[in-house]
Amino acid sequence: MSDLANKIVILVTGGSGLVGSAIRWEWIFARSSEGDLRDPEAAKKLFEKYKPTHVIHLAALGNLFGIDLILADNSVVGGLFKNMKYKLTFLRDNTLINDNVLQTSHETKVKKVISCLSTCVFPDRVQYPLDETKIHLGPPHESNFGYAHAKRMVDVTNHAYHEEFGSSFTSAIPTNVFGPHDNFDLEDSHVIPGLLHKCYLAKKNGTPFTVAGTGKPLRQFIYSRDLAKLFIWQLREYDEIDPVILSVGENEEISIKQVADAIVKAIGFEGDYKFDTTRADGQFRKPASNAKLLRLIGNFTFTPFDQALEETAAWFVQNYDKARIGQVPKANEPE
């Protein structure tokens, strides 16, 4: 599937009439080169330029290309291994970004902000399944406490803005997300894009495919396209300050081994693969309930995992030259 085929362009005929005017939304997709949101002045300039009435706040540390950052390497986005390495950077930079986005939204009278949290905000030791009432019941897992605390504070801040100023600032908690346009760095990425890239190179170069950890941890994955639809629902319909978990059901947890098997199939890798059990497993599981979401939305059809993974793998293979692949060791470089 080409990148162009993935692009969604919506034509609304009769768009200037009564009905058309009621659904006219202008979307601005800002990236860091438009303004480094760790800088309050850059945040102000961005908001002055576009004058948003609503904000979906996804920016997080984050793709660091183009930003003058203190990190010693050139690595990008999160995932277990990156979160373990840069706890202070993730804590400080995400705190700055979140504070600047919310305070600028407040100052410029934005009507609604939805900030994106993550299931890592939840306590490590808490009764499962995770649900929206349990965020602040204990410390997060130690492997990513910097990122988790920065994200957790968004919920606290949303409530404070609401109580002091009546602001409609809320948040969403997706489980692990994957899909086209992810960061496919070999190491500093999440499990699905990282393993897709490793498996792709193993097939191409006839080298071993190695999965980090034991393969036993369980995760709930949501396809980025399903998540996008849920954000639009939340923007239109959701009135609470408290977060809502955006996820497939807690009965749809799958193991990292099942993920690796699906990746082997999607890439068409025929060799053996192994687990490097010297590497960290991270949290064993963090099952999250989507009961609140389903109660509010009524019904929602999630894309089946295998289909979503195949679409993602096909996108990655077809877009290898322009995907975010990070630094690939010389021996593995594509011809």
**Which residues form the interface with ligand GDP (CB under 6 A)?**
79-81, 120, 176, 190-191, 194-195, 211-213, 217, 219, 256, 279-283
Nearer to ligand GDP, 161 or 273 (CB): 273
The number of angstroms, rounded, from the C-alpha of 180 to the middle of its chain's C-alpha atoms is: 12
Which of 47, 52, 55, 61 forms a contact with ligand NAP (CB under 6 A)?
61
**Residue 278 beta carbon to ligand GDP: minimum distance, rounded to whole angstroms:** 11
Q: Residue of minimal CB distance from ligand GDP?
A: 213
Which of 102, 113, 116, 153 forms a contact with ligand NAP (CB under 6 A)?
116
**Residue 283 beta carbon to ligand GDP: minimum distance, rounded to whole angstroms:** 6
Residue listed under structure tokens 């293979």: 317
- Our finding on whether 55 is near ligand NAP (CB under 6 A) is no
- Our finding on whether 33 is near ligand NAP (CB under 6 A) is yes
Residues with catalytic function: 147
- Our finding on whether 37 is near ligand NAP (CB under 6 A) is yes
- Our finding on whether 148 is near ligand NAP (CB under 6 A) is no
Nearer to ligand NAP, 67 or 328 (CB): 67
**Residue 245 beta carbon to ligand GDP: minimum distance, rounded to whole angstroms:** 14
Nearer to ligand NAP, 67 or 235 (CB): 67
The number of angstroms, rounded, from the C-alpha of 101 to the middle of its chain's C-alpha atoms is: 17
Nearer to ligand NAP, 60 or 205 (CB): 60
Nearer to ligand GDP, 152 or 190 (CB): 190
Instruction: Calculate the alpha carbon distances from 265 to 167, 252, 305, 333 in Å.
Output: 48, 20, 13, 23
Distance separating alpha carbons of residues 117 and 217, to the nearest angstrom: 21
Distance separating alpha carbons of residues 187 and 211, to the nearest angstrom: 11
What is the three-state SS of 204-255? Answer: HHCCCEEEECCCCCEECEEEHHHHHHHHHHHHHHCCCCCCEEECCCHHHCEE
Distance separating alpha carbons of residues 211 and 191, to the nearest angstrom: 9
* 61 touches, from ligand GDP, ligand NAP, none (C-beta below 5 to 8 Å by class): ligand NAP
Which of 47, 52, 56, 60 forms a contact with ligand NAP (CB under 6 A)?
60
Nearer to ligand GDP, 81 or 122 (CB): 81
Q: Which stretch binds ligand NAP (CB under 6 A): 125-133, 134-142, 174-182, 310-318?
A: 174-182
Distance separating alpha carbons of residues 196 and 200, to the nearest angstrom: 6
Please name the residues in contact with 230: beta carbons below 8 A apart, sequence gap of 6 or more: 172, 246, 293, 297, 300
Distance separating alpha carbons of residues 103 and 107, to the nearest angstrom: 6
Site string for ligand NAP, 73-102 (x = CB under 6 A): ----x-------------------x-----
Which of 55, 59, 110, 121 forms a contact with ligand NAP (CB under 6 A)?
59
The number of angstroms, rounded, from the C-alpha of 68 to the middle of its chain's C-alpha atoms is: 22
Residue listed under structure tokens 């009961």: 291
Instruction: Give one word for 213, left, alpha or beta, with left for phi > 0 and alpha for psi -120 to 50.
Output: left
Please name the residues in contact with 277: beta carbons below 8 A apart, sequence gap of 6 or more: 213, 214
**Residue 63 beta carbon to ligand NAP: minimum distance, rounded to whole angstroms:** 3
- Our finding on whether 174 is near ligand NAP (CB under 6 A) is yes
Q: What is the DSSP string of 122-191?
A: S-SSSPSSB-TT-TTSSPPPGGGHHHHHHHHHHHHHHHHHHHHH---EEEEEE-EEE-TT-B--SSSS-H
List of residues contacting ligand NAP (CB under 6 A): 31-33, 36-38, 58-63, 65, 67, 77, 97, 116, 118, 174, 176-177, 183, 190
